[in-house]
Structure 1
């Protein structure tokens, strides 16, 4: 990164701190109109000065040297490019590509990486829509999938076939916050020449950078922590320049592009990412410790607690344990709902990662269409609660939880 001295000369400075990267990483020092903030370039098409300018552009693109210039909005946008550069800097990646949602990013990777006759492996605690796409939709195209328990590397290696092309996992997972040993996963994949993809939405680049451990591609639903304000939908993928270039080709065909105003909102959110995540890490740890000691709570899942099955892995790989706490209330479904309704601070809502705390009862939110037996088979109990902590003061959050739990019999 280059910074300007008082004399106007450029000087090279290595940016190491996550908050500095979140504000300045990948940024152009001089923006149009002398703006400090990259402007929103709200255009669907791009003009040429004359025919000679057009021909020069076409010749450069033919040889892969168009200098980032595009002719149509589906192929790129300066505001979106600024976001992609910032995320690449945060992840320590060569490049990144932004999409209209996290699922658009997931499906683009799968479409770009797999063809009929291919096989992939996905871990069982992956996001339910990802599992549905892998197990139901891709099957229509002749792609087979095997689901393995996260952390069971014997099952993972046993599932690998000659036609296995991809291993897809999340870390931490939803809702039980399982943490994959990325070093071990990357070693197996390299040895078997299989591509690895990690959805690290819950971790953020502040708490974990999967590429540092040998993972090929990392995904974020930027709707969550990266934007941080529950007001925009976006997704982003980071990795090597070659892999991201292939994703851009797929994106140009399927059209899951991010609009420039949404990119601007995510860029604005990224500037406070490290500050927000540090507070959410603090809130997560405080709440997890409080709940684990409370007599009206049966069990707590949080990677920062020694009781979590992946605590040792989380301590080794992660710089913080995140702002999501999952727990079981000592009550039935109706009692758990009464506890949630008695809370004053969290909103009852899906999603996570924003400045506002959000709470949900998965049996009634994400898995309502399943009957109790189906939910139980995948580990979703009626008294399960997922609490995504915002940046509120921790003492206020604890007091709110205490008064709501005190109402239980």
Structure 2
């Protein structure tokens, strides 16, 4: 594909990143090889030291992985991307590439449980400390700053309460201090939101979720400018939390239908959120598309749709929440999300079960909270499945 063409998102999703081999394949090729052969010793030396482009070893160079990276970068409006084995390894690689002992992170309170565990239990062991701010209040980020703060990290929308952070406002605070802003764009994907356009320096993905969209493989990515991505790539080259060629091949195909899937899922999610909000057994519903959402106006400005995640609190605490979950026959009881099949989980005992009760309370994760990741089923069938337990 010619580099000078200005193509729309949908066209980039099916054409970008495609470099055909000598065989002229129509779809992306799958390169299942551990290493690549040089023509001579001089070429091998030139490739290893970066003087000549070319593939060396699939831990850090593979054509199928490159295709996924290039396509995702194009869809995010970025210069570069580096792919990793999972979403969590993407966050780890970002931190290892850009931080050192003595540095400080400001992160949002409403983070995925494993991200909190990574910061508190592992980065802390190597002298990287973390403080937590209110994602929806830019001033709390300013107050959390320290002289050694080097990174702001947030999810927007957050997991599982779909809090919306003002990316531009928080980016301004970070940059005024000389810190970077990284945004986990897992819930929206570039189909609904492009954080780099709002001032973020780096974007993180769990490609396992919506980018694949069918629950098939694990993957992650860090996206940004070439200068921002390069330290992450160098860590991956050395440490090796690498995306496999097969998983990259699956993810490349997932990106082709991303916008179609996410927009359809978002529309169904909004309809379900509206129905749940009027249900007598539901205490509260969280979805950015609802006017009752605290950051509804910001979501309308920053995102093109509300997304496919709906969280809601049922009356009666854990017992009532588990009854709703156990009564379903169509929905999948799993903590994964972003699938064409609707998934349902109880965050307090699954995704956020390993963090302290105090941390869960601070993040607003109650015992009655249920999280839905809405798929492509009939809205009425999903509604009927929930009604079995809510009734």
TM-score by length of 2: 0.95
In the other structure, the counterpart of 2:27 is 37
Q: How big is the shift at 1:223?
A: 0.2
CA contact (8 A) 2:110 2:159 kept: yes
Counterpart in the other structure of 1:320? 305
Measure, in 1, the Cα distance between the counterparts of 2:366 and 2:141: 26
In 2: Cα distance, 1:134 partner to 1:372 partner: 17
- Supply the distance in 2 between the matched residues of 1:369 and 1:96 (Cα, whole angstroms): 31
Match of 2:346 among 335, 357, 361: 361
Alignment partner of 1:217 is 2:202? yes
Q: How far does residue 369 in structure 1 lie from its aligned partner after superposition?
A: 5.2
- Whether 1:129 and 2:108 are equivalent positions in the alignment is no
Go from structure 1 to structure 2 and tell me whether the alpha carbon gap of 1:214 and 1:369 turns closer, same or farther (over 3 Å shift).
closer
Question: 1:395 offset after TM fit, Å?
Answer: 2.3
Q: Does 1:195 align with 2:185?
A: no
Offset of 1:371 from its aligned partner?
A: 7.7
Distance 1:86 1:151 in 2: 31
Shift of the 368–71 alpha-carbon distance from structure 1 to 2, 3 Å rule, reads closer
- Structure 2 partner of 1:76: 61
Question: In 2 relative to 1, CA 272–32 (structure 1 residues): closer, same or farther, beyond 3 Å?
Answer: farther
Matched, 1:22 2:16: no
1:119–1:161 CA contact under 8 A, matched in 2: yes
Match of 2:52 in 1: 66
Name the CA shift for 1:32/1:320 in 2 (closer, same or farther; >3 Å). farther
Q: Distance in 2 between matches of 1:292 and 1:378?
A: 21
Distance in 2 (alpha carbons) for counterparts of 1:48 and 1:209: 39
What is the TM-score with the length of structure 1 in the denominator?
0.91
User: Offset at 1:377?
Assistant: 4.9
Aligned residue in 2 for 1:9: none
Query: After superposition, what is the alpha-carbon deviation per residue over 1:3-30, rounded to whole angstroms, capped at 9, x for unaligned?
Result: 9xxxxxxxx64211x32221112323x3
Give the equivalent residue in structure 2 for 1:281.
266
Give unpaired runs (5+ residues) of structure 2: none
C-alpha separation in 1, matches of 2:16 and 2:196: 17
Structure 2 matches for 1:233-244, cutoff 5 A?
A: 233-244=218-229
1:296 alignment counterpart = 281
- Counterparts of 2:156 and 2:238, CA distance in 1: 29
Distance 1:101 1:60, change over 3 A: closer
Q: Secondary structure at the match of 2:209?
A: coil
Contact 1:223 1:235 in 2 (8 A): yes
Q: Which structure carries more relative contact order (alpha carbon 8 Å, separation 6+)? A: 2
**Cα RMSD for the two superposed structures:** 1.8
Q: Distance in 1 between matches of 2:360 and 2:140?
A: 23
2:382 is matched with: 397
